[in-house]
Structure 1
């Protein structure tokens, strides 16, 4: 005899054989025993949950036919596939044949599978017969999409909603089948298969068939992971540990290792949702955990991530799962997901904060409470706040720190630490020279005033190819940015997150590579980096100015590039002494008027 799939060999023959649908089977059994069966039923629910099997069992038992009898040999049980017989003519044939008496059985049973596929005309042709069929005719309609069935049909049937079968029931059923087949198995392997089946017994048995064929002698967890495309729990825990720590680079490497193993993107996201669900439930309801990870590991990860951040991650995973259904670039979406999960729950800078922190520093931008040891390197014409006293003959001190330093002492300290300071200062100046990006509304206006649609179209088309020239980490970084405006000299890139925009504005290596790649692709290579929210606001403001007739005269070359933020160096002697990187101009003027020996500098 030819080999038969497990789901066909072990298809339920009686209501007692069915699992996971106890309410429905008990109701139908009671109706048959009491001789109170209806004339039309609707069995709806997910695939592989027993709808067609229940219909065949009902058809046999209501006619008193032995479970061992093949229903295909009974002329009074007619099974119709509505997917391929969905026209009016097919339904008219059913209506006409229903008027004839059964040949052998007491009732003539019509089982119409996938009934939602019937056309509107076919449903209309079925209405009258379905409402008032002959006394010896019964209809059983089966569907996975009851929302597509007209209300007039639904109101004429007794509806039974089949639910997804829980994983424990599926595992128990598979274990019983494997025992009958004399096949050894790992319980964790059955758990992986049941999870992949998503509540469908038929799917579970089909996957089990494949795993048996793959491993031949035993159903192991490794074989189950290979066949289902699922990711190991260890890899998932490593991935979540890295994204929870904000270690985006290593998380991306872990992601690519998983994908290189042939794991399916959809399956990977589903596995992440499942594990994150278990992490969320670990401290609340450990008895509901489905994963093979220990409760201790899940609790540890729960404490690291936090319940609030778990909810944010869940939303990101759900959005990605929907997006993967409509794209062929699954790797890019998973990389973007990794970046988002690393940022999930972190405090994102507002657009105004980014503008303030990244725009060229002016006296009005300086904070009065900002310590001198954290002064960023800025233009030479910036002066110290005038509120600070310039001359003082009496230095003030505290227990730990010299807050007032006489000029000769300061000069000596600077002389002693010149070797220490020279290297970071030179590096800072080198970084400033490498930074080439601009930001802010004026820079956007400068590009929009001479914008060219052709340049933007070319940049948008070449952007995916251009990103491929970067390493994995920077590819994911650039995935959340896209060209939104362009002229013959510059391109405006909008970032989804202000925090990543701030990082890009200070990433000299990224900017140098971007300029190089833009130049190689014959694109303008001056960069204007802004956030997506800033772009919407600035574009609206630009349009408003045009409507008022105001001309935009600002030039991009007149706008300075963003400066690097460099902290000053501190020196530890007997006490901690704060040393500034540069003497303010006003102090130099005071020293030239009164002499360096007389002038005391007070913080």
Structure 2
């Protein structure tokens, strides 16, 4: 007889066979007994939690069909895979056949699996029939992604949310199956399989199939760990102890041994995250700890890490999980993570956000340290260099993750303090005009622009109030590895920014501090719209611009002339009406009157 996989052999045939979904099964049973079944249902939830099985059981129960009857012998229960039959024609066939009476059973039931993959046209074709089907027709839609279903469909169905099955429930079911299979097992091995299944009974049975194939005599801890790629708890503990004691070489050696042992990188990070979670809860809610490690050992590990550090480490691991999904060099990313976790153990790490307040960027670049007004704490330049190497701008980090790391680098309290003025650089890196815009667009990076835009509000908050006032209507609209285009809504503010050396130096400094490109291209919003249109038009004609910053002349700011002109206006007894109105609206501290360098008038 042909061998069948365990998840097929032990697929539930009745509501009593289903595990982990007691509320749903009881509700459906009560509806059947009371003869109050609906005409359309939506079963949604993670994979392997029993959605399709429940749909088949429900269809059998309302038609009074015995559990031992083969599915192929029931013509009135039609199962459709929407992943491969998602067109309008397939749904039209359903709509037309629904008008015919059932062949044998009281009801004709249509089960549409992976319903979220239906096309828009297919949903529209189904809509009216789903709302008012014939009295003897019922629809059951199953999906893992209900958020992709149209609201018009959702509102016409009774929705049941299938939850992930608990590890203990999965473990008990696996033990029951192995008893029937007459296979010996270790409970700890079953626990590892249940954890690796992540709440899906089908996944658990598939893993169990592999374990039995690997060692048919007995399901052991070692066998389960080998098949699932799970890392031994003692290895994880040694690894965390090395990190907690800031012993980078030892931590890297332990990681190398884990990788050489063939462990899956994603599984390693998941196990590490789980252990950190148990360490965090060991002193708070010990009853919620899942690890087999003793509470005493977890509490000893908790002494190495503060609560803030544990949370920061877990966030770093979560970011790394997203990165390794896009990379083939997972071992390199794990080594980068190890170095980063060790750096997080620096005794000053918990105060890292406060170290960003009242930063003097030019001074920080000279001596490699940043200090706050209230604390005499120093961040070593070597640490910031290593951190920038472990999370490079061009690495495949998800955009929300980059925004989070940048937000941690900029302060939220800068509005209450003013940064030390920055001396304008002797070599200007500020540009304007269409050629400068083309130089950025020719090498534009969408990820860089998104990262800067997400951090823009925090970046502005770290600057003096005078600089913030100029940037209120300015936004980054394009970015490359070299430069950023800032578009100003008001030309008057653009003119002031173009001739304010301190403004340009402050913005460039905060960009450089956060590993952003420091070449600034300052233009008006209207000019940006025109330049972007011209660039697209050239591309359509096959005339791709090849402008480069090396070919352009940066702005030249005469600081002495600017200061003298400003002083002359300040000493003028006759204040223009527009200046008085501005001072009344914004306050004299925020209004800065300068002389136009080309026209000689205020």
Same-fold call, TM cutoff 0.5: yes
Per-residue Cα deviation, 1:544-581 (whole angstroms, up to 9, x for no partner) = 99423469xxxxxxxxxxxxxxxxxxxxxxxxxxxxxx
Residue 354 to residue 254, structure 1, CA distance change in 2 (3 Å): farther
Aligned to 1:64: 64
Aligned to 1:162: 162
Aligned to 1:523: none
Q: Distance in 2 between matches of 1:286 and 1:177?
A: 31
CA contact (8 A) 2:171 2:191 kept: yes
CA contact (8 A) 2:280 2:310 kept: yes
CA contact (8 A) 1:81 1:113 kept: yes
CA contact (8 A) 2:231 2:268 kept: yes
CA contact (8 A) 1:45 1:162 kept: yes
Q: Distance in 2 between matches of 1:9 and 1:66?
A: 17
Q: CA deviation at 1:252?
A: 1.5
Are 1:285 and 2:285 counterparts? yes
Residue 304 of structure 1: SS of its match in structure 2? coil
Q: CA deviation at 1:131?
A: 0.8
CA contact (8 A) 2:41 2:140 kept: yes
Q: CA deviation at 1:194?
A: 0.8
CA contact (8 A) 1:60 1:71 kept: no
Q: Distance in 2 between matches of 1:126 and 1:535?
A: 52
Residue 547 of structure 1: SS of its match in structure 2? coil
Q: CA deviation at 1:287?
A: 2.1
Q: Distance in 2 between matches of 1:226 and 1:182?
A: 22
Q: Distance in 2 between matches of 1:239 and 1:302?
A: 14
Q: Distance in 1 between matches of 2:166 and 2:308?
A: 28
Residue 304 of structure 2: SS of its match in structure 1? helix
Q: Distance in 1 between matches of 2:88 and 2:186?
A: 51
Q: CA deviation at 1:64?
A: 0.8
Q: Distance in 1 between matches of 2:30 and 2:143?
A: 23
Q: CA deviation at 1:300?
A: 0.8
Aligned to 1:231: 231
What pairs with 1:527-538 in structure 2 (closer than 5 Å)?
Answer: 533-534=512-513
Aligned to 1:111: 111
Q: CA deviation at 1:289?
A: 1.7
What pairs with 1:195-206 in structure 2 (closer than 5 Å)?
Answer: 195-206=195-206
Aligned to 1:135: 135
Residue 305 of structure 1: SS of its match in structure 2? coil
Aligned length: 407
Residue 110 of structure 1: SS of its match in structure 2? strand
Aligned to 1:308: 308
Residue 538 to residue 47, structure 1, CA distance change in 2 (3 Å): closer
Are 1:240 and 2:248 counterparts? no
Alignment RMSD, CA only? 3.7
Q: What 5-or-longer segments of structure 1 have no aligned partner?
A: 362-369, 371-440, 450-483, 486-529, 552-603
Q: Distance in 1 between matches of 2:271 and 2:367?
A: 46
Q: Distance in 2 between matches of 1:360 and 1:287?
A: 49
Q: Distance in 2 between matches of 1:162 and 1:23?
A: 9
Are 1:548 and 2:548 counterparts? no
Q: CA deviation at 1:332?
A: 2.3
Q: Distance in 1 between matches of 2:68 and 2:46?
A: 27
Residue 25 of structure 1: SS of its match in structure 2? helix
Per-residue Cα deviation, 1:295-316 (whole angstroms, up to 9, x for no partner) = 1111111121122211111111
Q: What 5-or-longer segments of structure 2 have no aligned partner?
A: 369-375, 377-421, 431-480, 483-508, 524-552, 560-602
Residue 246 of structure 1: SS of its match in structure 2? coil
Residue 134 of structure 1: SS of its match in structure 2? coil
Structure number with higher relative contact order (C-alpha < 8 Å, ≥ 6 residues apart): 1
Q: Distance in 2 between matches of 1:350 and 1:136?
A: 68
Q: CA deviation at 1:259?
A: 1.1
Aligned to 2:18: 18
Residue 244 to residue 542, structure 1, CA distance change in 2 (3 Å): farther
Residue 142 of structure 1: SS of its match in structure 2? strand
Q: Distance in 1 between matches of 2:514 and 2:294?
A: 47
Q: Distance in 2 between matches of 1:342 and 1:297?
A: 21
What pairs with 1:219-368 in structure 2 (closer than 5 Å)?
Answer: 219-344=219-344, 345=349, 348=352
Q: Distance in 1 between matches of 2:226 and 2:98?
A: 50
Q: Distance in 1 between matches of 2:128 and 2:280?
A: 52
Residue 513 of structure 2: SS of its match in structure 1? helix
Q: CA deviation at 1:159?
A: 0.5
Task: Pick from 515, 518, 537 the counterpart of residue 539 of structure 1.
Answer: 518
Residue 550 to residue 215, structure 1, CA distance change in 2 (3 Å): farther
CA contact (8 A) 1:45 1:163 kept: yes
Residue 350 to residue 121, structure 1, CA distance change in 2 (3 Å): closer
Q: Distance in 2 between matches of 1:543 and 1:56?
A: 64
Per-residue Cα deviation, 1:410-456 (whole angstroms, up to 9, x for no partner) = xxxxxxxxxxxxxxxxxxxxxxxxxxxxxxx99x978989xxxxxxx
CA contact (8 A) 2:511 2:518 kept: no
Per-residue Cα deviation, 1:206-254 (whole angstroms, up to 9, x for no partner) = 0011011111211111111111111111111111111122212221121
Residue 445 to residue 12, structure 1, CA distance change in 2 (3 Å): farther
Q: Distance in 2 between matches of 1:331 and 1:531?
A: 33
Q: CA deviation at 1:539?
A: 3.2
Residue 80 of structure 2: SS of its match in structure 1? strand
Tell me which moved more, 338-347 or 162-171. 338-347
Q: CA deviation at 1:358?
A: 8.9
Residue 303 of structure 2: SS of its match in structure 1? helix
Q: Distance in 2 between matches of 1:264 and 1:445?
A: 52
Per-residue Cα deviation, 1:12-53 (whole angstroms, up to 9, x for no partner) = 111111111000000000000000000110000000000000
CA contact (8 A) 1:49 1:162 kept: yes
Q: Distance in 1 between matches of 2:167 and 2:280?
A: 19
CA contact (8 A) 2:429 2:554 kept: no
Q: CA deviation at 1:198?
A: 0.5
Residue 80 of structure 1: SS of its match in structure 2? strand
Q: Distance in 1 between matches of 2:250 and 2:558?
A: 50
What pairs with 1:349-428 in structure 2 (closer than 5 Å)?
Answer: none
Q: Distance in 1 between matches of 2:178 and 2:47?
A: 23
CA contact (8 A) 1:445 1:542 kept: no
Say which one has the larger Rg: 1
Are 1:217 and 2:225 counterparts? no
